[in-house]
Amino acid sequence: MTAFSTWDIVSNLLLAARWTVLLSLLAFVVGGVVGLVVLYARIARKAWLRRAAGLYIELFQGTPLLMQLFLIFFGLPLMGLDVSPWAAAFVSLTLWSSAFLAEIWRGCVESIPKGQWEASSSLAMSFVEQLRYVILPQSMRIAVPPTVGFSVQVVKGTALTSIIGFVELSKAATIITNATFEPFTVYGFAALIYFALCWPLSKSSQILERKLNVAHHHH
Amino acid sequence: MAYSFDFSSLADYAPVLVKGVAITVELIGVGGALGVTLGIACAWAKTQGPRWLRPLVEAYVELIRNTPFLIQLFFIFFGLPAIGVGLTEMQAAILAMVINLGAYACEIIRAGIEATPKGQFEAGASLAMSRLQTFRHVVLVPALQKIWPALSSQIVIVMFGSAVCSQISVEELTFAANFIQSRTFRAFEAYIVATVLYLALAVLVRQVMRGIGALVFPRRSVAR
């Protein structure tokens, strides 16, 4: 039997944390792209599009992420699609992120005064042009702090993918615990690594929000 | 390839699902009540409490809000026995939920307290109330009323998080779904049913919170 030093534990956890970071980044970025599409549908002029996007958001926000993971991981193979834990983790986190991001951004878009829509429409801009040149540039400023804040939820969400067998930080912690019988140390360090990933994001979200509020007061 | 749904094979397992729902309700009922209480205590400590206590509460809130619930749960259930604190699955699950919700509730309630006009504190003091009395009677209730919807949402989020407790063999709703799918191989159906039940539970939690809100918060009198 090999003996594990504390350094072995930490270095192995850090190696596994790369997968946590990679999965978080991919889910956040691709989720953002899908989220933009959902946002577009959510504020579209066609009522059925708005309703469909609303239902999509409701579905992902209104059910546990773990259930979504299980449904994709266990459900899709039954329909003849072969999904690896990695694919299931990526797909479900991406869809989940897209729903939350779309809803966050909808709030930001709706906080833009109606006059801006009316003014741009009176300049004969199309809906897409209005979004592209008038609404999105303004709402993007407001959207930054909550979007950064949500990235923390994505990082924490990746921990659930360990349950379907994707080896990231949490799964590695369980594997190492089973080998070392030192759950206190291992889960303690795992928590610290998550904290080191998330806390800077949380803090920058707070700082950005404060900055933005200050800017608001000057106007 | 077409997949034909078959929910009928789940019928035999209805009692398992009922038990799962009951335990999830127990988790969120006990965890929710204690978690909100802890949140109120921490919000008090952060806004009114002794100075030495504030950084401690701050550290607790930041640590919990920036780590996954799964790791918190595993640390409590697997890690604490190593230092002599053994807990049953249920105790560990409830403790983890209380600690988790406490941190989020603290931030939400603190926001409500900070939105209370300073004049309220001064009015309380001018009525010869102690600081604690002012907090309890003048500040806390309106603050809670303001943030009640946000707090309700957080409790629903924590309930969704409780699905993870299946991983330490707490026999809640997700555990029931796992059990059923391992017996029937009807994974899709089992998880769809569980998901629908979670949806229903979320509605129930919101309704209960609305009910409590209606009981606790006095209607605003219109006398001016």
- Containing structural domain, residue A142: 6-218
pLDDT at B82: 86
What topology does CATH give the domain B8-216?
MetI-like fold (1.10.3720)
Size of interface A-B (CB pairs under 8 A): 117
Domain ranges of chain B: 8-216
Facing residue for A160 by CB, picked from B75, B164, B198 = B164
* Mean pLDDT calculated for residue range B67-85: 94
Facing residue for A66 by CB, picked from B74, B78, B163 = B163
Residue type at position B117: P
Low-confidence ranges of chain A (pLDDT < 70): 1-2, 214-219
pLDDT at B125: 86
Tell me if B191 sits within 8 A of A164, measured CB to CB.
Answer: no
Q: Is residue A1 part of a domain?
A: no
Tell me if A31 sits within 8 A of A96, measured CB to CB.
Answer: yes
CB < 8 Å to B63, chain A: 191, 195
- Burial bucket for residue B52 (CB in 10 Å: 0-12, 13-18, 19+): exposed
Contact B66 A194 (CB under 8 A): yes
ipTM score of complex? 0.90
**Residues 6 or more apart in contact with residue B159 via CB below 8 angstroms:** B24, B27, B28, B32, B198, B201, B202, B205
Place of tokens 């390839």: B1
pLDDT at A213: 75
Q: Report the percentage of chain B scoring pLDDT > 90.
A: 73
pLDDT at B130: 87
Provide the shortest C-alpha distance from residue A154 to chain B (in Å): 10
The predicted-structure confidence for A76-117, as pLDDT tens digits, reads as follows 887 788 889 999 999 999 999 999 999 999 999 999 999 999
Q: Is residue A149 part of a domain?
A: yes
The predicted-structure confidence for A167-177, as pLDDT tens digits, reads as follows 999 999 999 99
By CA distance, what is A163's nearest residue in B? B167
Structural domains in chain A (count): 1
pLDDT at B224: 47
Give the domain CATH number at A153.
Answer: 1.10.3720.10
The predicted-structure confidence for B82-117, as pLDDT tens digits, reads as follows 888 889 999 999 999 999 999 999 999 999 999 888
